[in-house]
Structure 1
Amino acid sequence: MNNFEELSFEKLPAAVSKILLDLEDIRKLLLRKHTREPTDNEILSLEKALAFLLDNGCAMSKSKIYKLTSKQRIPHAKLSNKLIFSKHELAQWLELQTAKNPNTQTESIINSAIILSKKNYKHGKR
Structure 2
Amino acid sequence: MKNNDAALIKSILEQIAKIQDSISDIKRRTQVADLINKPILDINECGVLLSMTSAQIYKLTSNQKIPHSKIGKHLRFDRDEIIVWVKENRIATQREIEQRASNHMNKNVKTPH
Which TM class, normalised by the smaller chain length?
0.3 to 0.5
Richer in helix (by share): 2
Higher relative contact order (CA 8 A, sep 6+): 1
